[in-house]
Structure 1
């Protein structure tokens, strides 16, 4: 089968399965990149993709500067792609599927978080813009930082948040997470106060209230990439040397603050909406000092006179 026809077949199958636009875009961007690599190396048929060839491609990605996490993400998508042509299309067998025995690279687990100084510096920057310009960007981006810290939402969940998903009376936010699973998370009193102020600004700024919470100046929804660009711009301005400024760092920071405050693993798992507790436990293993403090406070031996 020609690789370009395989791409069309796979895309049609994912559309039939009703995967999200975000997921489909990620799949096709990666597969198109791999296809271009194949063309550059005179590989045009799907069956000519061997395990050795795919490993060469992954090594090429690493040499280009991709870190182990990015390389593993690319391998994960390739495995989904080739598994489809094994199980559904029978182009391959379990023995001939070239990705079957390729293992994932070991990743260096490092989760960075913002300090109080980082957060205050970012908020002060947007506060000065709010008072000076009173622009949508200043109010929106200021509130977005507070929202991310107060909700631990992912970038995709933030982009998809609608005003009808925000219950300011009962202080509940409904987010649509991975695999289109809707979840409800509580809204703190501080976050509610910020929501009310931001909503008042939006109501006065637009002739009609936009459907989405975070929009551009025309009231149209922000894409995931648009939000990433906001933080890319902020990164250049802040120029932090000791932490990566990204949307996901706010999520890590929210988890870190909950852990430090004494939240248990079940609470943090629910707030972060992890389907598997193993991801939540990664936070506990990384921030052992906080865990040690909680252990010292609540250890079973404390009640015994030893």
Structure 2
């Protein structure tokens, strides 16, 4: 199905037709060009190519008159071979859902700071989290900055736009008692293995799903995190599963394999070795299935309002409680900087703070 503003339609003869601005007639009216292909995907690709050619001509002449939607489509096309597919699809989704309905049809060079501030106000009125608003605006700002660099517009109207205050992210790891309850139930169930593994390694759910046996070096006791398995937005519509590189370079990391975890893995590793550690049929156990089993285990353990990512926070919190350093924890988690680790985890757990206060006061009794 065609999305709003795409100008792609299915014809009665079964072909797909795409329409794009080819130029301007002497009287100033738009001169449209058309492309015809057998499938929606082929039509969209050809249409983007033709739009790109027209924009190149316009920019070179310094007379770009395209809309915000057209400009960002052009930018996304340029990014195709520069960013991960999942990242590109995320950018496209955010633009289509949050930007185009408000500013998509406005001519790029006429957008003002007032237009953008009104757009931000509309986003605030919705149920969108302030952190998501910041992300959407940041992505859009970059595309407008590119327009300035390419001389499609004179200045970036985002320069003095005011954004809502970001919420302080509260981390709620499992208590030691909750963790023990979940571990007890998970140990009794075959589908509980990914949960137990995540609690001992701090891997993200996609990293757990993508882990191969060959990524575990039982001789040197090392785990290498190379891939992530996740459901991403597809080119047309809906989603698809994709095995790819982790979210950042820092996420590709090596973790020590503890003796207990090593023995546990070897105790149930199949004799006919499968490719993936957590596998269903010939494929990795997908994150949605892991989440399903995790929720069932939490329910049996009597732990409510818990999501899989909390296992990662729990892993980090247990390390902090055992006097782990921020630098070491950051490396194990695959954070791009220790600042990120500090922002998320410092002061996140009352147990650690209580221990520090108790240690401080042990030498003095009132």
For the criterion TM > 0.5, the same-fold answer is yes
How far does the alpha carbon of each residue in 1:100-135 deviate from its partner, in whole angstroms, 9 at most, with x for none? 64446222231110123333343444445x3xxxxx
**Equivalent in 203, 213, 218 of residue 281 of structure 2:** 218
- Are the counterparts in 2 of residues 231 and 245 from structure 1 also a CA contact under 8 Å? no
Partner of 1:22: 86
CA shift, 1:156, in A, is 3.5
Which structure: greater strand fraction?
2
Distance 1:277 1:61, change over 3 A: same
Partner of 2:193: 143
Partner of 2:337: 276
Unaligned stretches of 5+ in structure 2?
1-65, 227-245
**Equivalent in 114, 117, 120 of residue 180 of structure 2:** 120
In 2: Cα distance, 1:62 partner to 1:293 partner:
41
CA shift, 1:147, in A, is 1.7
Matched, 1:184 2:257: no
CA shift, 1:273, in A, is 2.2
Select the structure with the greater relative contact order (CA < 8 A; seq sep ≥ 6): 1
In 1: Cα distance, 2:298 partner to 2:111 partner:
40
Between 188-197 and 60-69, report the one with greater CA deviation. Answer: 60-69
**Equivalent in 251, 260, 263 of residue 312 of structure 2:** 251
Distance 1:194 1:96, change over 3 A: same
Distance 1:90 1:103, change over 3 A: farther
- Are the counterparts in 1 of residues 144 and 156 from structure 2 also a CA contact under 8 Å? no
Q: CA RMSD in A?
A: 3.3
Distance 1:118 1:64, change over 3 A: farther
In 2: Cα distance, 1:66 partner to 1:234 partner:
30
In 1: Cα distance, 2:296 partner to 2:112 partner:
41
How far does the alpha carbon of each residue in 1:65-96 deviate from its partner, in whole angstroms, 9 at most, with x for none? 22223333323332333333333x33344x43
TM-score by length of 1: 0.74
SS at match of 1:178: coil
Matched, 1:161 2:211: yes
In 2: Cα distance, 1:272 partner to 1:255 partner:
8
Matched, 1:91 2:155: no
CA shift, 1:297, in A, is 5.0
CA shift, 1:31, in A, is 1.4
In 2: Cα distance, 1:75 partner to 1:14 partner:
18
Partner of 2:105: 43
Which structure: greater helix fraction?
1
Partner of 1:193: 263
Distance 1:26 1:153, change over 3 A: same
CA shift, 1:145, in A, is 1.1
Aligned residues: 276
**Equivalent in 115, 132, 136 of residue 74 of structure 1:** 136
Q: Which has the larger radius of gyration?
A: 2
In 1: Cα distance, 2:347 partner to 2:291 partner:
28
In 2: Cα distance, 1:222 partner to 1:117 partner:
28
- Are the counterparts in 2 of residues 68 and 107 from structure 1 also a CA contact under 8 Å? yes
Distance 1:32 1:227, change over 3 A: farther
Distance 1:98 1:76, change over 3 A: closer
Distance 1:294 1:120, change over 3 A: closer
Unaligned stretches of 5+ in structure 1?
131-138
In 2: Cα distance, 1:47 partner to 1:236 partner:
54
